[in-house]
Amino acid sequence: MFLYALRRLLLAIPLLIGITFISFLVIHLAPGTPGEIQTGDLSIQSDKEIQKLLIELYDLDKPLHVQYWKWLTRMVRLDFGKSFSPDARPVLQKIGERLPVTLLLNIVEMLIIVALAVPIGVYSATRQYSMFDKVTTVFVFVGFATPDFWLALLLMILFGVQLGWLPISGLRSLNWEYLSFWQQQWDFAGHLFLPILVATFGGLAGFSRYMRQSMLEVVRQDYIQSARAKGLPERVVIGKHALRNAMLPIVTVLGLSLPGLIGGSIIVESIFAIPGMGQLMVQAVFERDYPVIMGNLVIVSTLTLVANLLADVTYSFVDPRIRVGARRGRR
């Protein structure tokens, strides 16, 4: 297993380089340059001179392959350069401030989705066509059809504007510094409630459906019928024999869903004004801040590759047949 993980990590290096190369070309093809964004009116002669100086300062006057090679050599040393924004702060410093917020949102979202989707899917599969199954089916279709931004705006109007129960932007209230420790935690949780609810809604619908379909396929297998024929309790048949095999497709979906979670956080963070990676990415795109854009893409790509690797490794713990097959292959 260790050699397999090491081999996958080594294969991920050229894949990551390919992703960064294509991304580097695409973002430079977008109209507008950092100099044009920062100077504004192009008709003023002084602005044109400033743009020329900025282009030379940012090395944008060099060929793309030269720019990419310089960026790649810095990236290998974990130096993503400095932001093109007026503050000129290091990219890693900016990402380091925003990444914990996005990771917190996505980890909590994923934990809630898994904790709810698995029992919902199992219960729906074991009681197919029941009232509960029909209700969850309707919920799935509603979840798939509801855009995140539309749901976010509705919840903001209802709970934030009309009822005034929950805050609708940021992570802290204006008087946060004057609150006690537990009041600060409650205030922080209140600010996260609506963003997590919006981000969880669609994912919960999809994962519960995947779990239901996977469980339906497993319970029809011969070994499940044999376990029931031996007189094993239904909870043992479902919980011990069926659930572990039904989790294999879910592990795959979890590994592949990380890019979607990060992409969804861009929408959620932008609407709720949460200072995370998604909001930073949107700002960088509008400002043509190439170092910040590339830094975000590297972090997201790395997390995606690591998540896929963890999904493959998790297979061996969920399904013992994979471990046995690996041992036989080595022999």
Q: Supply the pTM of this predicted model.
A: 0.77
Q: What is the pLDDT of residue 313?
A: 73
Q: Give yes or no for residue 195 having a pLDDT over 80.
A: yes
Q: What is the pLDDT of residue 1?
A: 60
- Across the chain, mean pLDDT equals 80
Tell me the C-alpha to C-alpha distance, in Å, between residue 302 and each of 87, 107, 227, 307. Answer: 27, 16, 42, 8
Does residue 162 sit within a domain?
Answer: yes
Does residue 59 sit within a domain?
Answer: no
User: What's the rounded Cα separation, in Å, for the pair 271 and 155?
Assistant: 11
Query: What CATH number is given to the structural domain containing 323?
Result: 1.10.3720.10
DSSP string, 30-89: SS--HHHHHH--TTSHHHHHHHHHHHHHTTTTS-HHHHHHHHHHHHHTT---B-SSTT--
Which residue has tokens 């047949």? Answer: 321
Q: What is the pLDDT of residue 236?
A: 84
How many domains, the chain?
Answer: 1
Identify residue 76 by its one-letter amino acid code. V
Instruction: Kindly report, residue by residue over 283-317, the tens digit of the pLDDT.
Output: 888 888 888 888 888 888 887 788 777 777 776 66
Q: What is the pLDDT of residue 318?
A: 63
Q: Give the H or E element holding residue 191.
A: helix 181-219
38 falls in which pLDDT band (50, 70, 90)? Answer: low
Of 7 and 134, which is predicted with more confidence? 134
Q: ∠ CA(222), CA(224), CA(230), 5° rounding?
A: 105
Does residue 43 sit within a domain?
Answer: no
Does residue 247 sit within a domain?
Answer: yes
Instruction: Kindly report, residue by residue over 88-116, the tens digit of the pLDDT.
Output: 788 888 888 888 888 888 888 888 888 88
**Structure token digits, residue 156:** 């903001």
3-state secondary structure 269-280: HHHCCCCCHHHH
Q: What is the pLDDT of residue 319?
A: 63
**Structure token digits, residue 150:** 């539309």
Does residue 319 sit within a domain?
Answer: yes
Q: What is the pLDDT of residue 282?
A: 85
Enclosing domain of residue 211 = 91-330
Q: What is the pLDDT of residue 260?
A: 61
Does residue 230 sit within a domain?
Answer: yes
Instruction: Kindly report, residue by residue over 120-164, the tens digit of the pLDDT.
Output: 988 888 888 888 888 888 888 888 788 888 888 999 999 888 888
pLDDT (average), residues 32-45: 60
Instruction: Kindly report, residue by residue over 179-193, the tens digit of the pLDDT.
Output: 888 888 888 888 889
Does residue 245 sit within a domain?
Answer: yes
Does residue 212 sit within a domain?
Answer: yes
165 falls in which pLDDT band (50, 70, 90)? Answer: confident
How much helix, strand and coil, in percent to the nearest 5, is found in the chain? 80, 0, 20
Residue pair 33/60 in contact by the 8 Å Cβ criterion: yes
Q: What is the pLDDT of residue 50?
A: 64
Among residues of the chain, what percentage have pLDDT more than 90?
1
User: What's the rounded Cα separation, in Å, for the pair 236 and 41?
Assistant: 71
